[in-house]
Structure 1
Amino acid sequence: MQLQIFVRSPTHRTLTVNLESTQTLTLRHLKSSLLPNPQSISSFYFALNGKPLSDSTLLPNPEITHLSTLSLLPRISGGGGDGGATGAESRDCYLKMYAEKKPDKIDLNEKRLGKWLNCALSYEPLREPCVIDKLGNIFNKEALVEAMLGKKLPKEFRHIKGLKDMINIKLSMIPGEKSDAVDGAKFQCPITGLEFNGKYKFFALKNCGHIVSAKALKEVKSSACLVCHEEFVESDKMVINGSEEEVVALRERMEEEKAKTTMEKKKKRGIDVVDGKDCGKLEGNGKLDNGKKLSNGGVKKFRALDVAPANATKEVYASIFTSSKKTDFKETYMCRSLPLGRN
């Protein structure tokens, strides 16, 4: 059995390395096979998901598995306290820090790739099974479920309450001969072959979970999935990693669906809802206890004055049902039994 791993060079090219499972190599051996100049071996190191690895690390091992992606990075001179990076930070954290200080210097290509090739939560390379939320963010399902169960979801993802807020998706892997594509994309549109790397717009079909490019949906007019031929409607299309305007539209749709679901649940429990507000629990005849039904479907609150006998003084009759009578006197904080004007 072969072990296949990917190596991202300092120039952001992705190389594919095939190793026999019977081979026992170290990362130093792998480094020497990739670097033409032996004197430069000590000037580079390997990292896995932002974590530096020792040159003596053996291949294979439980940490570096099949289809893992290693980054070959140059060493930075200097020790602790000199303001240099340690190499332990994730690429996403570094990009955020750099974007705040020098927004004109950030590598937009690197930012784009990080968003499309990695999990939005763990920043690890995407690997199936994958899911998206209702805003079009893409995740490794295992990482998202673990964070949700451990109540460690960041604020921007707290709209995800359970499995019902996740949509299982099916990514189409690029065939082996194209796995070393520039930009490091591993997935593609199954219809057009466009790479899943942020250069093209992609949609997820909620009913079946297939990911297809906008170009495929535009060129082939169909109300059925182009992969599995399952029927879908326009509202089943969800854009992946959309623009700010598209995310705002998805958020509004999510809030509308949430409000609709809440209203339906309240109606099932017998709670009358008027203009999105609770009006109390309904009886079998559709009215509240001691209440009157309004013409607009609402319920009028019970008032003793409305049912006073014909010859009764309304204020006196109402006092039977109230605990106190309003006065113009104000009580002092020293003694509530001595209102001002009475002592």
Structure 2
Amino acid sequence: MGCDGGTIPKRDELVRTKKKAEQKDRNSQRSYLWRYCAVSQTLLQTPVVACELGRLYNKEEIIKRLLNKTQDASNMGHIRGLKDVKQLNLSINPAYDSDEQLQGGQSVEGIKAPWICPLAGIEMSGKYGFCFSWSCGCVFSTRAMKEVPGNSCSSCGAALDRDDVVTINPPAELIPEAVTRMADRRRRAKEAKKEAKRKTGQTEEKPAKSSKKQKIANGSGNSYGAGPSKPGTSISGL
């Protein structure tokens, strides 16, 4: 018999309903990451930046928090300065309506994403994977990035290092890999900086030595700028 004239749902029907609700909730949470700033929870507005872990932020919010030293330890503790984020070159979605707002109870999934992949036309909503080049900040769908060959960015033409491509909002199981890649990138940058300083030091040192030798050869005194030797003064003891 039913309850109030209805039927009693079977266990498998209840399980299916629960799974659908859980899936919808996961999809909404995933879409939220692509629409809102990771630290302020406000709508993303250009200029948008991303960190080396692929999280999205409003650039103005990052600057404000860095100046005020109010970093969010969970989402921003790894950002030491603007050098640790990259401003993204986003392609506008022509179907996006900037006046469209979320209504009460409405899912973010039902709203057009503001940006798309410039090559595949796929919406940047979280349904499909997206990534960006750390070198230039251009954003593409993961599929388009894999399918387009070459070592130059298809959007701006800048040099493209496939090892320097960052996945945007990676799934939980890929975060450890993102952390490792971030550590490797920072190590390489530090080594490159040291090498540049070493080369600069060598370049600056060579003219100084040459100048000193020239002064001695010309009998112009010591390196502190002393004038030429007086007539009759021997310099054989130098």
TM-score, normalised relative to structure 1: 0.44
The DSSP-based 3-state class of the residue aligned with 1:117 is coil
Given that 1:119 and 1:139 are in contact with CA atoms closer than 8 Å, whether structure 2 keeps it comes out as yes
Q: Which of the pair is proportionally richer in strand?
A: 1
In the TM superposition, what whole-angstrom CA distance separates every residue of 1:266-290 from its partner, at most 9, and x where no partner exists?
A: 89999xxxxxxxxxxxxxxxxxxxx
Give the match for residue 210 of structure 1: 138
Identity of aligned residues (%): 31
Residue among 91, 94, 100 paired with 1:172: 91
How far apart are residue 208 of structure 1 and its match? 1.4
Matches of 2:146 and 2:128 in 1, distance apart? 13
1:108 aligns with 2:26: yes
**Structure 2 portions without partners, runs of 5+:** 1-20, 101-108, 199-238
Matches of 2:158 and 2:189 in 1, distance apart? 25
Residue among 131, 148, 159 paired with 2:66: 148
In the TM superposition, what whole-angstrom CA distance separates every residue of 1:109-143 from its partner, at most 9, and x where no partner exists?
A: 22112101111111111111111111111100001
Give the match for residue 16 of structure 1: none
Matches of 1:268 and 1:227 in 2, distance apart? 29
1:273-292 correspondence to structure 2 within 5 Å:
none
Distance 1:185 1:266, change over 3 A: closer
Matches of 1:163 and 1:260 in 2, distance apart? 18
Superposition misfits of 4+ residues, deviation over 6 angstroms: 263-270
Residue among 96, 118, 126 paired with 1:198: 126
In the TM superposition, what whole-angstrom CA distance separates every residue of 1:137-163 from its partner, at most 9, and x where no partner exists?
A: 110000111112111111121110111
Give the match for residue 47 of structure 2: 129
Given that 2:52 and 2:85 are in contact with CA atoms closer than 8 Å, whether structure 1 keeps it comes out as yes
Higher relative contact order (CA 8 A, sep 6+): 2
1:120 aligns with 2:38: yes
- Over aligned residues, Cα RMSD in angstroms? 2.8
Given that 1:113 and 1:183 are in contact with CA atoms closer than 8 Å, whether structure 2 keeps it comes out as no
How far apart are residue 199 of structure 1 and its match? 0.4
TM-score, normalised relative to structure 2: 0.62
The DSSP-based 3-state class of the residue aligned with 1:192 is coil
Q: Which of the pair is proportionally richer in helix?
A: 2
Give the match for residue 182 of structure 2: 254
How far apart are residue 265 of structure 1 and its match? 7.0
**Structure 1 portions without partners, runs of 5+:** 1-102, 271-343
Distance 1:262 1:192, change over 3 A: closer
In the TM superposition, what whole-angstrom CA distance separates every residue of 1:200-241 from its partner, at most 9, and x where no partner exists?
A: 011111121110001212332232211122221112211100
In the TM superposition, what whole-angstrom CA distance separates every residue of 1:43-77 from its partner, at most 9, and x where no partner exists?
A: xxxxxxxxxxxxxxxxxxxxxxxxxxxxxxxxxxx
Distance 1:269 1:192, change over 3 A: closer
